[in-house]
Amino acid sequence: MNYTMKDIAQRANVSVSSVSLVLNNKPSRIPKETKNKIRKIAEELNYRPNSAAVFLSKKISYNIGLIVPDITNPFFAFLTKTIDERLRASNYSTLFADSNNSFEREVQIINNMISHGVDGILLVPSNKFFYQPHNKLQEMIDNLNKPLILLNASSDLRVNSVNFDNVLGAIMATEELIKYGHKSIAFIKGKDHFVNAPERYQGYKDALKKNDILLNPNYVFEGDYTIQSGYQVAPNIFNQRDITAILSSNDLMLFGIIKWAKEHRENVFKRFSMVGFDNNPYTEIIEVPLTTIDQEIGKMADKAIDLLLTILREKVRDSKQIIIKPRIIRRNSIKSEHSR
Amino acid sequence: MNYTMKDIAQRANVSVSSVSLVLNNKPSRIPKETKNKIRKIAEELNYRPNSAAVFLSKKISYNIGLIVPDITNPFFAFLTKTIDERLRASNYSTLFADSNNSFEREVQIINNMISHGVDGILLVPSNKFFYQPHNKLQEMIDNLNKPLILLNASSDLRVNSVNFDNVLGAIMATEELIKYGHKSIAFIKGKDHFVNAPERYQGYKDALKKNDILLNPNYVFEGDYTIQSGYQVAPNIFNQRDITAILSSNDLMLFGIIKWAKEHRENVFKRFSMVGFDNNPYTEIIEVPLTTIDQEIGKMADKAIDLLLTILREKVRDSKQIIIKPRIIRRNSIKSEHSR
DNA sequence: TGACTTTGATCAAGCGCTTTACCAAATGCC
DNA sequence: GGCATTTGGTAAAGCGCTTGATCAAAGTCA
């Protein structure tokens, strides 16, 4: 086993209480020399406090649960990295779990994390999360007795959340294309129950309306955010001869379209202007890097952690919905409509 | 707070001891009806054991620490996902940390994890890990008092490890190229202090020797495993007119070469046969998917967790070095030398 | 000198759970 | 009926740490 305060106390000829007071820098009347002696012994023994014992008496574990739907998705990987880094900087650790896009797992994991004594939970919900009956979810959240923050998702539940303004993001993207003269803009939407998918579709529609462009239902396609689904939908887009631009709900599906085009010897970059969502780092591989809507992950992580730490510090109970403005990253995948 | 055994005991009119015995399915003389009553109440209250308290008395936390150098690298992301899944299946949770390729962080994190009471640690060491003085490292590992398993790295330290046979992987890759008639094979090696990099270089050299091909130092290039470094090295490879094939220490650097080629209108797939390492999932985006050496991540995770759980169960102390055979995944990036 | 204050600590309870030893009541047996 | 045995539990200590209450000794002051 590891050394305990008892070991230090014995070696320093003081009581455990004194050791505790000193190592935690609590105000006490213990003189400098004794303090130094205790600190030195702790150092020598490489004393590490037993968090379980600390938790038992203080009810603070300095563990925060983080649940993501799929860590192999670069978006969630970057988010996880940033959150872990920020938490560590505030002296917290990350209890991690991958829900593998399953709601049942999410519930299991949440229970398990509470059992493991996390101080709070950051949940990046899977698409399946919002399938559930509203009141059941609300009850679960309310019964947690620990702060829960939803990331990358919005909800009308009474719950803290941090999300990007997806409607705005899609508007920005659509208007960028319109600015370059495009009027026949295809949209690849995610499935209706996907987190943030309806909002992106809404933004697309809003932007068209605002610019007096009629929505053509033949220009709207659907995918499931994977490269494959982009690949599958690609021929249909190429078949619609008047489409000049594509807005995709994420970058991955554009990758699929590009792959299909290359295999079929179509010059996709000449034929279409393209904008995606997510700022996928692998855009680097593409010979023409994609213009994309960047959800600034660092910002989201910061906001979420600020919110969480504030709740923990001040024990507030009401829930807050934070919305972050996305930004557009202009690269080379948009050409003026007339230059084609 | 959450409900405790005390709450259950009160409601069931029994002692806390009984509740503990029943909920843990310990042999006891408590009759079925009482057991059922206790279980029912626990269920109703959504009782979740307080792991900290369990840990304090049993010294088992059911938490395993996992440290990776960079979660945004798909290889580590897949590894993390698999490990998390497997651990959860065995009733353990994952205390995660990203060391951001820093040795200091690794040490900090390990101490913190021990303090948080993990039962064991799975460490995927960063390159900088092996910079350290050998004896210091050994001392640190020995003083842990918890099983530590090194993943994706080999070491002559007394420590458990699970790694792929990188020499063999590189031999397989090189011989695959030789089989297709290639003799002028470029090699992009990782920096010497990179984990597994010297082994891959060794395999390349071994395979050449075995096949009576002289090593040409002009065919050996160096990168740091990033797309950029492949991009940078690309013109030098294109300049060596007799090179017909490229073996890269990872897929990412090949991506960089492909990108450079496209930008410079070189038909890279016609000019070179290529083999990489890692089975990077984004090979999908490339129009000619890459043949690669796959380090079966699932196998590595399984072996590591088996080893860890065995150590925990049987409290063995000696260290074991497990080596896994890699496999080659044949795709379309190799052409016969004569068909060029 | 005696009352009061300050200094330098310690005591003890409690956090929630596990586990071994123990005990009282009921039952079985001759 | 008296003893042993079985049944159905409980008591209590301990895990390592925190913290408010407490206390003895030394120093201060009038």
- Helix, strand, coil share of chain A (percent; to 5): 50, 15, 35
Mean pLDDT calculated for residue range A295-310: 95
- Domain B60-165+297-325 and domain B166-295+329-339 have a common topology: yes
Q: Which amino acid is at B123?
A: L
Whole-number average pLDDT of chain A: 94
Question: Is the pLDDT confidence value at A97 over 70?
Answer: yes
Q: Which of B73, B128, B122 is nearest to B277 (CA)?
A: B73
Question: Is the pLDDT confidence value at A340 over 70?
Answer: no
Using an 8 Å Cβ cutoff, are A323 and A164 in contact? yes
pLDDT band at A318 (very low <50, low <70, confident <90, very high): confident
* CB of B93 lies under 7 Å from some atom of strand D: no
Using an 8 Å Cβ cutoff, are B88 and A97 in contact? yes
Query: pLDDT value at position A337?
Result: 82
Tracing tokens 């698409």 back to the chain, one arrives at A127
Of A242-256, A265-279, B39-53, B124-138, the least confident: B124-138
Dist. CA B49–CA B24, nearest whole Å: 10
Question: Is the pLDDT confidence value at A209 over 90?
Answer: yes
Q: What is the DSSP letter of A191?
A: P
B17/C23 CA-to-C1' distance in Å: 15
Distance of CA A315 to the CA centre of its chain: 24
Dist. CA A129–CA A99, nearest whole Å: 10
Distance of CA A117 to the CA centre of its chain: 22
Q: Which nucleotide is nearest to A18 (CA to C1')?
A: C9
Mean pLDDT for each 10-residue chunk of chain B (340 residues)?
A: 92 95 93 95 95 95 96 95 96 96 94 95 93 90 93 94 97 98 97 93 98 97 95 97 97 95 92 96 89 95 96 87 96 82
Query: pLDDT value at position B339?
Result: 60
pLDDT digits (tens, 9 = 90+) for A169-184: 999 999 999 999 999 9
Choose the CATH number for A5-57 among 1.10.260.40, 3.40.190.10, 3.40.190.80, 3.40.50.300.
1.10.260.40
Query: pLDDT value at position B315?
Result: 82
Mean pLDDT calculated for residue range A29-40: 94
Query: pLDDT value at position A41?
Result: 96
Fold of B60-165+297-325: Rossmann fold (3.40.50)
Query: pLDDT value at position A103?
Result: 94
Nearest CA in chain A to B1: A145
Q: What is the DSSP letter of A195?
A: T
Query: pLDDT value at position B284?
Result: 83
Beta strands A120-123 and A63-68, pairing class = parallel
Mutation for testing the A interface, residue in B72, B110, B265 having most A CBs under 10 Å? B72
Choose the CATH number for B166-295+329-339 among 3.40.50.2300, 3.40.50.800, 2.40.160.40, 3.30.360.10.
3.40.50.2300
Dist. CA B171–CA B217, nearest whole Å: 18
* CB of A60 lies under 7 Å from some atom of strand D: no
Query: Please, what's the b/e burial string for A189-227 (b: 16 or more CB within 10 A of its CB; e: otherwise)?
Result: bbeeebbbbbbbbebbbbbbeeeeeeebeebebbbbbbb
Edge-to-edge order in the sheet of strand A185-190: A220-223, A185-190, A245-248, A273-277, A291-294, A327-329
Query: pLDDT value at position A339?
Result: 60
* A 30-59: CB under 8 A from B: 46, 48-53, 55-56, 59
Query: pLDDT value at position B30?
Result: 92
Question: Is the pLDDT confidence value at A133 over 80?
Answer: yes
Q: Residue B259: which of A78, A85, A285 has the nearest Cβ?
A: A285
B145 part of contact set with chain A, CB < 8 Å: yes
Q: Where are the domains of chain A?
A: 5-57, 60-165+297-325, 166-295+329-339
Query: pLDDT value at position B337?
Result: 82
A17/D23 CA-to-C1' distance in Å: 15
B29/C25 CA-to-C1' distance in Å: 14
Query: pLDDT value at position B304?
Result: 97
Query: What is the DSSP code string of A72-123?
Result: TSHHHHHHHHHHHHHHHHTT-EEEEEE-TT-HHHHHHHHHHHHHTT-SEEEE
Mean pLDDT calculated for residue range A184-191: 97
